């Protein structure tokens, strides 16, 4: 990779807009497309979506689990999705939500971020709930290869606040876990320009949290579109940080398939909506 992820992310959003499509081959969506729930159906679905949206999206986000459930042949399809999306000019954020310690964390990082791996993406999602320090192997591998990380911070699932809204003890500032994660990211990114490479995952439908999103890094906001998130919500939640947000949707776009033109037009509409409010 020729430039750090934060730099490439900022350039992609400026050129292609702030909308991300999740390439998530749910069994139900395969059925809606009249495809069998097989590796062949998976491949037809996923690569049709890539052709339809990757030339226009700044970021695409395949969810690894929907490929892994088919075993090695499904992972081979994921490798093609990554490679062909990047060839079309989109950044690939691989949604794996990994989180472990020591050598295991190192191995995950190398699997997804080292360019010599067939699964290498531009960035990955990771979970910090073994302690933020457990993510340091990911941080170091990302720095070495100019890759990015998106750390779960304030997700919109109903179970999230049980952990993310918990308050730390005084040794960790007596703030919520979500706020602590954002503070760690702020420290990692420092004053890098135009943007650091270490980002947060924050739901596009969360209510007021009092969180400080000035982390000088990327923000992924899943839940845009069908789950209720709007461009107005992006402004409401993120304020001055809204320009570094990529809003993600999957089913609202994927259900328009296999009509490639309809899926591509949905990307253009979402980008236009975000641009009209955020600039």
List all residues 6 or more positions away from 85 whose beta carbon is below 8 Å from its beta carbon: 23, 50, 54, 60, 62, 92
Residue 82 near residue 62 (C-beta atoms within 8 A): yes
User: Six-digit token pair at 235?
Assistant: 């402004």
Q: Is 97 a catalytic residue?
A: yes
Q: Which of 15, 61, 97, 158 is catalytic?
A: 97
Alpha-helical (H) ranges within 89-216 are: 102-113, 136-145, 161-164, 177-189
Q: What is the C-alpha separation between 215 and 183, in angstroms, rounded?
A: 7
* Nearest residue to 42 (alpha-carbon basis) of 254, 262, 261: 254
Q: What are phi and psi of 258, to 5 degrees?
A: -80, 20
Rg (alpha carbons) of the chain, rounded to whole number: 18
Catalytic positions are 97
């Amino acid at each position: 990779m020729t430039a750090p992820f934060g730099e490439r992310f900022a350039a992609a959003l400026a050129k292609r807009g702030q909308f991300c499509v999740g390439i998530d081959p749910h069994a139900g969506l395969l059925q809606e497309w009249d495809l069998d729930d097989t590796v062949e159906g998976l491949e037809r679905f996923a690569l049709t979506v890539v052709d339809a949206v990757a030339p226009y999206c700044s970021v695409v986000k395949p969810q690894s689990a929907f490929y892994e459930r088919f075993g090695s042949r499904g992972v081979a399809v994921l490798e093609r999705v990554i490679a062909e999306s990047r060839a079309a000019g989109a950044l690939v954020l691989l949604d794996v939500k990994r989180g472990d310690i020591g050598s295991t964390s190192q191995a995950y990082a190398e699997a997804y971020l080292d360019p010599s791996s067939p699964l290498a993406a531009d960035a990955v999602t990771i979970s910090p709930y073994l302690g933020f320090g457990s993510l340091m192997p990911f941080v170091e591998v990302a720095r070495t290869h100019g890759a990015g990380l998106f750390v779960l911070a304030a997700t919109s699932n109903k179970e999230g606040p049980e952990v993310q809204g918990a308050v730390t003890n005084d040794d960790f500032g007596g703030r919520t876990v979500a706020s602590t994660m954002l503070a760690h990211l702020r420290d990692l990114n420092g004053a890098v320009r135009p943007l650091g490479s270490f980002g947060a995952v924050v739901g596009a439908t969360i209510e007021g949290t009092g969180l400080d999103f000035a982390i000088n890094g990327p923000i992924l906001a899943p839940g845009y579109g069908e789950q209720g998130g709007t461009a107005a919500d992006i402004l409401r939640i993120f304020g001055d940080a809204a320009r570094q947000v990529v809003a993600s949707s999957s089913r609202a776009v994927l259900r328009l398939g296999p009509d490639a033109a309809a899926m591509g037009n949905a990307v253009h509409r979402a980008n236009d909506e975000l641009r009209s409010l955020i600039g």
